[in-house]
Structure 1
């Protein structure tokens, strides 16, 4: 019977320190820096393969484990089939109890609902800002380098080298060259 921790942050700029401190009593902690919206998370997969009957998986917060109810319930069901319990520290949920199982399902549904509401409000805010002319979207960084792309292409540099040199994607280089060839 081991206590297995799982810690996750969305970006490389974020720190795992607070979660790791909260999971310090765990026998083993799996940690990663990847978006929770992705179902394909290598350390989560490893953790799910690693756990054995009688183990307990601990996370500091529900959103560190899953971003939507479907994914949360899939993980919970998978752990249940392996006879592994799950504990969410900030909510005091323990799926080793019937109440804990019920609370996990309810809280997961509420978290998904809140996220969908937030995304809806965000989209409405962006639409309103666009309507008022305050939102232009993200700056086109690759297109701003069109002259540099053209200059390097004239020097017969491969597209991959141009992309590397200018810190843009190869597809951006191809798109720029295609657009420039249409205008000439």
Structure 2
């Protein structure tokens, strides 16, 4: 029976140290961590590793439920996967565990709260952007991909997969650039 800690923050700039310290104090023998959004399970390889490794009687420990995920369905699916392996999930703040009968109900409610919080954050962000636009202060998000390079490579005979590999981005980003520029008449 082992205790596995999972720590997560959403951005590269955020620090995992407080979560690591708390998980160590809780007696976690192994702590996996990552800097990736909790909005979905995509790209959360460390979480997947823990879930694959869990054995009967093991425990997955997180400091707060939103570290496990921001979407109620994802959180409940993670808990379900743990239960299928007869492993447990424990959240430290507020303390709740699936070891007890009430734990599942409390986890469901906390998962719904985490999802609502995520929606509130997005709404506040949208409101802030709209206000900044009205005041002429909004300059838009920073471009994450060199659009000219995409078109140079496209015109040079590269396909979307090759362009994505070369530029270190996803194919979807390449398709988006090619589609936006074609629709707006900005294609070279």
TM-score normalised by length of structure 2 = 0.73
Give the equivalent residue in structure 1 for 2:66.
Answer: 63
Q: Over residues 34-58 of structure 1, what are the superposed CA-to-partner deviations in whole Å (9 max), with x where a residue is unaligned? A: 2222412111111001001111111
Q: Segments of 4+ in structure 1 off by > 6 A? A: 169-172
- State the distance in 1 between where 2:69 and 2:6 align: 11
- 1:138-157 aligned at under 5 Å gives the runs 138-139=141-142
- 1:1-150 aligned at under 5 Å gives the runs 1-24=1-24, 25-40=27-42, 41-139=44-142
CA RMSD of aligned residues (A): 3.4
Secondary structure at 1:23 match in 2: helix
Pair 137,57 (structure 1): closer, same or farther in 2 beyond 3 Å: same
- State the distance in 1 between where 2:145 and 2:104 align: 49
Q: Over residues 105-137 of structure 1, what are the superposed CA-to-partner deviations in whole Å (9 max), with x where a residue is unaligned? A: 111111211221221222122223212322221
- State the distance in 2 between where 1:140 and 1:31 align: 28
In our comparison, the structure showing a higher alpha carbon Rg is 1
TM-score normalised by length of structure 1 = 0.75
Count the aligned residue pairs: 171
